[in-house]
């Protein structure tokens, strides 16, 4: 990173949409409390604008945006709304308590969206742009207007809509690559064209919002900045619709590390990037790809002999940034069965966790149990254990015990005891393999119609005593949720992951998105 003087014209505003575009993607649902925790961290990290949700979407979304607005410190709190006045008014109500608030209102402008999705003629869309922005401006003077599917919009029409939106009072103009279709050169030209051709373009800040369908979201966003955009919309870990959005940590570090060719700056404290990544991964149960840029667990790992040799001679041989710059701590504290509570708390702090007293107690008991079974405890083991503790603290269905008979003889049989909202229930089931037997027990104890979409096992660390981490994705009613379970016993981890996903579906059902159907659980809820 260079140390050139920072000028206002090079300041890039970071608009985080982890809680809106990120949370709306299949399986990434967060609970109310998880959203608050993520928002607090984003605010502390220096995110300029937090898009906290889509208030009209559900009571749960409204409540989360409202609470985030109430607790906000420095960040502008933003809510999303379609063009309808009731959407905009609901959004205004949700963000009302924030010190600084923004309404983000959007409308499709591409021929394919106008014809098939909106079923409206361009002149009707044009009038709607004016009325939606005017309505939003009646609530706040910070209004963002997005031309949905802008990269597939006819240029003359886009210029007219952008001009009209600015005239009606939009202070930020967002040019989304909604379907992740553009390429850097083309996107650069689009932003440059708008800034040049729209007569009042100097009265608004241009923003980029790129999806990653072709793997170019970050490159496209940076090309947009090179063309004069000064706001990047992005998400932690790049989560978002389909292939996701531009990853916050990647755009920030690209500008930090290559400031010689990307001479821009942000207000982000990059040393918090790893913490943010871990928190969002734990809250959404979306694992971070091992080789993910900046925050993947291999991002600073060197395995090959040649690389290790180079690193020992000089770290810059194979590292373009130090782990510390993104908050990866190099620590010498080795955890094991002799470690006490104090060391455990210290380790948690180092890893960026802040647990409530009861969660800490539970996590410590589970850490001791793990240390009795496993020779070496790595940071990843502790992270898996604590992430699970956080993710499952509110669970209504909990695993009490599990025993499995497996082997060549068959049939494989599982005996499972669950705590279902304080009531104990036990079941014994056969299956086509031990995992099938376990899942059959869960289905017998908690009848539901959700379908298993994904079952994936990987080891958290090395060795035969490594903790297994299992991911399970369940789908119901066109939506899906993913959860993880970790345990040195793969079968226990499988049960935990399945139950984790089921618990998430129940949370979703409470918020009105149903997936767990009739059956014993339903009746205990009523009774
Ligand atoms: O991708 C998109 O077009 C969006 C808009 C709502 C900004 O997310
Ligand atoms: Zn989007």
- Domain 8-284, CATH number (from 3.40.640.10, 3.20.20.70, 3.40.50.150, 3.40.50.300): 3.20.20.70
Q: Which atom of ligand 1 is nearest to the CA of 20?
A: 8
User: Is 148 touching ligand 1 by the criterion CB < 6 Å?
Assistant: yes
428 alpha carbon to ligand 2 midpoint, in Å? 46
Whole-number Cα distances in Å, 390 to 23, 176, 236, 355: 18, 34, 19, 8
Please list the pLDDT of the chain residue by residue as tens digits (527 residues).
445 578 999 999 999 999 999 998 877 888 898 999 999 999 999 999 999 999 999 999 999 999 999 999 999 999 999 999 999 999 999 999 999 999 999 999 999 999 999 999 999 999 999 999 999 999 999 999 999 999 999 999 999 999 999 999 999 999 999 999 999 999 999 999 999 999 999 999 999 999 999 999 999 999 999 999 999 999 999 999 999 999 999 999 999 999 999 999 999 999 999 999 999 998 887 889 989 999 998 888 765 667 767 777 777 887 899 999 999 866 445 678 888 888 888 888 877 787 888 888 888 998 988 888 777 787 778 887 887 777 677 788 999 999 999 988 878 999 999 999 989 999 999 999 999 999 999 999 999 999 998 898 887 766 777 778 898 988 876 667 788 888 889 999 999 999 988 988 887 776 554 333 322 232 222 21
Give, for ligand 1, the residue of 176, 207, 229 to mutate: max count of ligand atoms closer than 8 Å to Cβ.
176
Domains of the chain by residue range: 8-284, 301-386, 392-524
User: Count of alpha carbons within 13 Å of 96, Cβ hemisphere only?
Assistant: 9
Sign of CA dihedral 388, 38, 321, 243: positive
Give, for ligand 1, the residue of 22, 136, 144, 178 to mutate: max count of ligand atoms closer than 8 Å to Cβ.
178
Per-residue confidence (pLDDT) for residue 519, from 0 to 100: 29
**CA–CA gap between residue 266 and residue 269 (Å, rounded):** 9
Q: What is the CATH number of domain 392-524?
A: 3.30.160.270
54 alpha carbon to ligand 1 midpoint, in Å? 12
Per-residue confidence (pLDDT) for residue 357, from 0 to 100: 85
Per-residue confidence (pLDDT) for residue 23, from 0 to 100: 93
Contact 249, 276 (CB under 8 A): yes
Which neighbouring-strand residues pair with 471?
456, 484
* Closest residue by Cα to residue 504 from 480, 525, 488, 521: 480
**CA–CA gap between residue 45 and residue 265 (Å, rounded):** 14
Structure tokens at 84: 């309808």
**CA–CA gap between residue 487 and residue 381 (Å, rounded):** 9
For helices 155-168 and 184-197, angle between their N-to-C axes, nearest 10 degrees: 50
DSSP SS3 for 417? strand
∠ CA 256-320-234, nearest 5°, is 40
User: Is 109 touching ligand 1 by the criterion CB < 6 Å?
Assistant: no
User: Count of alpha carbons within 13 Å of 522, Cβ hemisphere only?
Assistant: 10
Strand order of the β-sheet with 397-405 is 397-405, 412-420, 423-431
The residue nearest atom 1 of ligand 1, judged by CA position, is 178
């Amino acid at each position: 990173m260079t140390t050139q003087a920072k000028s206002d014209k090079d300041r890039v505003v970071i608009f985080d949409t982890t809680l809106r575009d990120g949370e709306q993607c299949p399986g990434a649902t967060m609970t109310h409390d998880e959203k608050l925790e993520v928002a607090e961290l984003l605010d502390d990290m220096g995110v300029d604008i937090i898009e906290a949700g889509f208030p009209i979407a559900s009571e749960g979304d409204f409540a989360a945006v409202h609470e985030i607005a109430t607790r906000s410190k420095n960040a502008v709190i933003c809510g999303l709304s379609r063009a309808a006045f009731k959407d905009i008014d609901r959004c205004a109500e949700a963000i009302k308590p924030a010190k600084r608030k923004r309404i983000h209102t959007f409308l499709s402008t591409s021929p394919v969206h106008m014809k098939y999705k909106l079923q409206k003629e361009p002149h009707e869309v044009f009038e709607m742009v004016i009325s939606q922005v005017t309505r939003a401006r009646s609530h706040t003077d910070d209004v963002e207007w997005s031309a949905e599917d802008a990269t597939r919009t006819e240029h003359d029409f886009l210029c007219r809509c952008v001009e009209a939106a600015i005239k009606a009072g939009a202070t930020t103009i967002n040019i989304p690559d909604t379907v992740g279709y553009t390429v850097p050169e083309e996107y650069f030209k689009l932003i440059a064209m708008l800034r040049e051709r729209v007569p009042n373009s100097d009265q608004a800040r241009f923003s980029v919002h790129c999806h990653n369908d072709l793997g170019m979201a970050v490159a496209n966003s940076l090309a947009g900045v090179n063309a004069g955009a000064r706001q990047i919309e992005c998400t932690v870990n790049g989560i978002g619709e389909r292939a996701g959005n531009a990853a916050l940590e990647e755009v920030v570090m690209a500008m930090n590390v290559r400031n010689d060719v990307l001479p821009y700056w942000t207000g982000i404290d990059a040393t918090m990037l790893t913490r943010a990544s871990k928190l969002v991964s734990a809250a959404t149960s979306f694992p971070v790809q091992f080789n993910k840029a900046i925050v993947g667990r291999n991002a600073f790992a060197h395995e090959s002999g040649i690389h290790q040799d180079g690193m020992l001679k000089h770290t810059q041989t194979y590292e373009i940034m130090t782990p510390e710059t993104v908050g990866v701590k190099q620590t010498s504290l080795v955890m094991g069965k002799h470690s006490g509570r104090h060391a455990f708390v210290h380790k948690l702090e180092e890893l960026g966790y802040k647990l409530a007293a009861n969660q800490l107690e539970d996590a410590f008991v589970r850490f001791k149990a793990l240390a009795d079974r496993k020779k070496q405890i790595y940071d990843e083991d502790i992270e898996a254990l604590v992430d699970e503790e956080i993710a499952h603290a509110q669970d209504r269905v909990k695993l009490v015990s599990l025993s499995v008979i497996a082997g060549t003889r068959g049939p494989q049989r599982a005996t499972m005891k669950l705590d279902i909202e304080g009531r104990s229930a036990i079941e014994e089931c056969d299956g086509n393999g031990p995992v099938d037997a376990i899942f059959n027990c869960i289905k017998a104890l908690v009848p539901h119609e959700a379908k298993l979409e994904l079952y994936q096992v990987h080891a958290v660390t090395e060795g035969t005593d490594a903790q297994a981490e299992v991911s399970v994705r369940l789908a119901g009613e066109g939506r899906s949720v993913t959860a993880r379970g970790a345990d040195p016993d793969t079968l226990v981890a499988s049960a935990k992951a399945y139950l984790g996903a089921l618990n998430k579906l129940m949370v979703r059902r409470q918020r009105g998105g149903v997936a767990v159907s009739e059956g014993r659980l339903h009746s205990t809820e009523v009774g």
